[in-house]
A and B are shown apart, each in its own frame.
Chain A
Amino acid sequence: MKNIFIYILLIFMFLFDINVFAKDLLITNAKLVIDSETFRENMQTNTKLPIDYEANIHENISIYRTTYGRKEPIIIFFKDLDIDEIKSELDGLDYKTYDAEGKWVTSGVFAPFSYLGMADIGGEDLTNDIRSPGSLTSVSENASDNFNPSSVFIANNRRHGITHAAISLAAAGNSIFAGTGSIVNLTGKYNSIVKETAFVLVQLGQQGTLNSGGSRAASLLQLRNGLEVANCNINSGRNCENSLIRAISNINNNSALSIYESDHLIPVIRGNIPLVISVERAVDIINVIELKNSFSKLDIILLGASEAWKVADTLAENNIKVMIDPHNNLPTSFETVDSSLKNIIILDEAEVDYAITNLSALGLQGVGTLTQHAGNAVGNGLDWNKSFAAITSTPARWFNIPLINNSLVIWDGDPLNITSTPVRMFINGEEQSLTSRQTLLRDRYNPNTNSDKLHKYR
C-alpha cells in the first residue's frame, strides 16, 4: 500500500513538474539586474545584505534559488561574499553551482503580449490558430488550448532570453472579444502553461469595427453590453437575459454575447484578471476609461495605445495600464496619426504603469526582438532600469507571476543592447537548451565548417 502511494505521488510529481529531486541552483559572481522592490524582499531572507541596498544593477552578487522545504521557490542574494563563505552558508544543502564570471544576470524576459506557439506558418491557415473567424464562441476560447510547446518558435525565441509570454488569440469568433489569454513559459514542455486564465482581450478601434459590424459605436456597445450581462450574472444568479440579444431580432453573428460567453467575463468584472483592450486613438482611450465609472473594479490594460501620450495624465489618474511598442512612430492609420517616439517618455513622466511590447514586429516569431524595442526606448530617453522592468518585472507583476524566482538568464552583455545574447538560461531551476532549429540550420551551413559531407549528412 505504501509503495502504491509513492508510485502515485511520483506520477503526480511528474505530471505537475514538482522538482523535488532537482538540485537547488547557485549562480556566483553576477552583475545582477533586478528591480529594487524584489531585491529588498529577497534580501530580507539573508542577513548578509545591507538593508539600504537599492540600486538596480548590483555587481558581485551570488544568487541562490531553492525549493527546499517550500511550495514556491525563493531566491536569496549574497553580496560580496566569496565562494567559500557562501558554501558555508549553504552547508548541508544540495545545489549546482554556475559561475557567471561577472556577466549580466537577470530574470527571464516576459513578453507581455504575443501569439507564440499558436501557429507554424502564418500564411498557411490550417497551421494557424491565431484567429477563429468561423467559431461560434469568443470570450470562452482559451489561448492555452491553442498552445503548442513543441513549436520551433519556442526554442527559437528562448534563445533571445524570453522565458515567459502572455499569449492570446488575435480574434475569436468574429467578435470584438478575442478570447481568454494565458501565460506560458518557454521550457517547451507539456506543462508550459503557467496560468491558463490570465486575461481577456477585446479589440476596439479599427479592428473592433471590423468585428462588430462597422463602427466604433457598435464595438463599444458590444463591450458595454457584454460587461453588463456579466455583471448581471453575478448579481442575479445568472438569470439575466442578454439585452443586446433582445434588441436585435435576427442574430446572424455572435456580436451579442451569450450567457455562457459573458460568464467568462465575470473574473474581469471582479478585477481578478485584467481586461486587455486593443485601442489606439486618444478619444477611444477616453471612452474606455469611462467604463470604470460603471465597472469600478476593472483592471484595464491598453494594448497598442499609440496616442496614449495625449491622455497620459488621465490614464495615470485612473490607474489604467498600457502595453506599447516604443518603435511605433508612423501614422500607419488614421487612428494612429499621432504615434510618436515620445509616447513612452511622456507616459513615464506622468507615472503611468506601462509594459513594452514589440507589436510592430510580432508576427509569430517576433517576440525575440523585445529587448531591441526596450533598448530603443532607452535610446530615445527612457531610464534603462524602467525600460528593462517593462519587459520583465512589470508584466510579471500584472499577471502575478514570480518571474525572478522562476527564471534566470546569463547574458554576454547589456541585455538591452542589440549585440548581446543569452549564454545560459534557467527556468524553474533547470538549465534550458539554447539550441533551436535555427542554430541547427546555422551549424549545418556555417561557411567555416570544413566538412566533405553532403549537407544532408552534416
Chain B
Amino acid sequence: MPSLNKGFAFTKTFIISGMLMLSACSGPIDRNKTKAFESTYSPNLDTTTLITNAKIIDGTGSNTFKGSICIHQGRIKVISVNQTVNTIKNTTNINCEYTNLIDAKNKYVTPGIIDVHSHLGNYPTPSVSAHNDGNEITSPITSEVYAEHGVWPQDPGFDEALKGGVTTLHILPGSANLFGGRGVTLRNYPSRTVQGMKFPKAPYTLKMACGENPKRVYGDKGGPGSRMGNFAGYRQNWIRAQEYRKNRNSDQRNTSRNLQLETLADVLDGEILVQMHCYRADEMVQILDLAKEFDYKVTAFHHAVEAYKIGDILKENDTCAAMWADWYGFKMESYDGILENIPFVHESGACAMIHSDSGSGIQRLNQEVAKTWAHGNRAGLNIKKEDAWKWLTSNPARALGILDQTGTLEKDKRADIIIWNEDPFSTYARPEKVFLDGQLLFDKQNNIAPKSDFRLGYGAQ
C-alpha cells in the first residue's frame, strides 16, 4: 500500500513542521513572511493603440470631450482633447507610434467599469450546491478565510461581465458572518488561476456584516441572536485584535501566528479596507461609532439601502456607500429602498457607488447608473452625467484603494477602457470593445470574447 504510506508520511511531516513553526516564533512576527498567494497577473503589453475621434467621459467629472487616447505598454500614454482629428496624419501630432488605430467616430469612450461588490467565482454558475464557496457558515467570526480561495476562475459570469464592460471586480465573502473574511480585487482577465487575476498590489479588504443575516443564521446556533449580539461580537473580537496586534509587534513575547486576528490587526494597521454589509441608516451610524471606539476606518457600506437618510454623516466620516439602483423590499431591513438613493448620497457630498451583487446585474451596471441618475434629477437634483459616471468607476476605485491605478482615463493610469456604440446612459448602448491594460479582450464586431471551459460542449454561443 505505497500510496497510503506516502499519504501518512506527508501528514506526519506536515504536523511536525507545523509544530516547529510554532515553537520558532519568538519576537515580532516578520510581516514579509506572511505574504502569500501573490498576483501573477502579467498582461501582454505589446500593442500600442490609438483611439481617435471619441466622445470621452473620463471618469473625473470633467465634461464629455471629443478626443484621442494613446495606449502604450498597457498604460494611457496620452489623452488629449482634440476637436478635429479626422485623418491619420493629423493624429500623429500627439506622438503615438501606434500599431493599432481605432476611429471611434460617434462612439463613446469611458473607463472600464469596476464592480465593488460581486460574488462571481465564489457563487458561480451553474448554481449547484458544490459551488457555494462564498460563505463560511460555520462560525460568526471567520476573518481567517480569504474569498480568493473560493473563487473559480472558470465562472462563465466573468466572461459575460467583461462583455458588459467590467474590467475590475471586488469579490467578497458572503454576509452570514459578523467577520466574513478577506475580499479580493481582481482584474477581469481570462486566466487559469485566481492568482492570474489578482489586481497587483491592491489592498485586501475585510467583509463584515450588520443586521438580519448574522442573527438569522446563528440565532439558533449559539448566537448572535439579535442586533445586540452582533455588536457584542464585533467588540469582543476587536479587543482580541488589539491585543494580538500589540503582541505581534512585541520583542518581549512569543506570538503564534493567528490568521483570524491577523486580518483584524491588519485592519487596525490601516492595511486592510473594511467593507461593511449594512442596510439600515441607524445601524450604519452605530457601526461608525464602533469604528471610532477601536480606531479603524469603515471604507464603505455595502447594500446601504437607507444611505440616503444619512448622506451628511457618511460625508463627515469619509465613508463610501455601495448601492443598488432599485433593489429593495425583499427583507425588512431593505423595505425603505428608494430609486434616488445613489443621487441623494452623491448630492450630500458623500462618495456614492453602484454595485451589482449579481451575475446578471453586473452585465448592465451603466444602465443601473443611468436609471438612478434620471430619477435623482427628476427629484430636483441637477447631476451631470459625467459626475454620475463616478458611481461606476472612480468611486469604486477609491473604495478599493486602486484609484491611482484605474477608475479614470488619465495619463499613466492602466488602460482599462470601453468603447460604446452610443451614449452609455441609454438602454440600447452596448460595449463594442473592452480593453484591460490595453489588451483588447472583447471585440463585438470581430467576435473576440473569452469562453469559459464550462461552456464547451454546449450549444449556446
Chain A positions within 8 Å of B, measured between CB atoms, are: 121-124, 153, 156, 310, 327-334, 336-340, 342, 360-361, 363-365, 368-369, 372, 375-376, 378-379, 416-421, 438, 441-442, 445-448, 455
Contact = CB atoms under 8 A, between A and B. Distances in A.
A363 B374 contact: no
B380 A372 contact: no
B127 A419 contact: no
A369 B364 CA distance: 13
B166 to A, nearest CB: 14
Given A330-B156, A441-B336, A364 B330 contact: yes
Interface in B399-451: 425-430
Contact of B459 (A327, A338, A375): A338
Interface centre among A122, A339, A361, A418 (most CB of B within 10 A): A418
Contact of A442 (B326, B379, B455): B379
Interface residues of B, number: 53
Contact of A364 (B126, B160, B329, B371): B329
Given A332-B125, A369-B326, A419-B374, A447 B461 contact: no
B161 to A, nearest CB: 10
Interface centre among B160, B311, B347, B427 (most CB of A within 10 A): B427
Contacts of A328: 360
B458 A331 contact: yes
A314 B160 CA distance: 29
A364 B331 CA distance: 10
Contacts of A438: 337-339
Nearest to B454: A331
B160 A445 contact: no
Contacts of B331: 121-124
Contacts of A342: 461
B375 A365 contact: no
Nearest to B349: A447
B391 to A, nearest CB: 14
B159 to A, nearest CB: 10
B125 A330 contact: yes
B1 interface: no
B332 interface: yes
Contact of B460 (A337, A378, A419): A337
B214 interface: no
Contacts of B347: 447-448
A375 B371 contact: no
Contacts, number: 133
6 smallest CB-CB distances across A and B, nearest first, come from: A375-B427, A123-B331, A419-B374, A338-B460, A340-B460, A365-B329
A263 B338 CA distance: 44
Interface string B351-374: 000000001100110010011011
B227 interface: no
Contacts of B339: 438, 442
Given A122-B330, A310-B459, A446-B379, A417 B427 contact: yes
B199 interface: no
B184 to A, nearest CB: 21
Contacts of A337: 126, 458, 460
Contacts of A420: 374
**At the interface, is chain A mostly helix, strand, loop or mixed?**
loop
Nearest to A379: B428
A447 B344 contact: yes
29 contacts: A122-B331, A123-B332, A330-B156, A330-B160, A331-B126, A331-B454, A331-B460, A333-B126, A333-B127, A333-B128, A337-B126, A337-B458, A337-B460, A338-B460, A339-B460, A342-B461, A364-B330, A372-B427, A375-B427, A376-B367, A416-B427, A419-B374, A420-B374, A438-B339, A441-B336, A442-B379, A445-B338, A447-B344, A447-B348
B8 interface: no
Contacts of A338: 458-460
Given A360-B360, A438-B338, A442-B340, A417 B330 contact: no
B308 interface: yes
Nearest to B381: A448
B380 A446 contact: yes
Given A419-B426, A447-B344, A441 B378 contact: no
B200 to A, nearest CB: 29
A418 B367 contact: yes
A368 B338 CA distance: 13
Given A123-B331, A446-B380, A378 B428 contact: yes
A165 B252 CA distance: 71
Contacts of B328: 365
Interface centre among A334, A365, A419 (most CB of B within 10 A): A419
A102 B420 CA distance: 30
A368 B326 contact: yes
B235 interface: no
B428 A372 contact: no
A336 B127 CA distance: 11
B335 interface: yes
Given A330-B157, A331-B125, A416-B427, A372 B459 contact: no
A332 B335 CA distance: 27
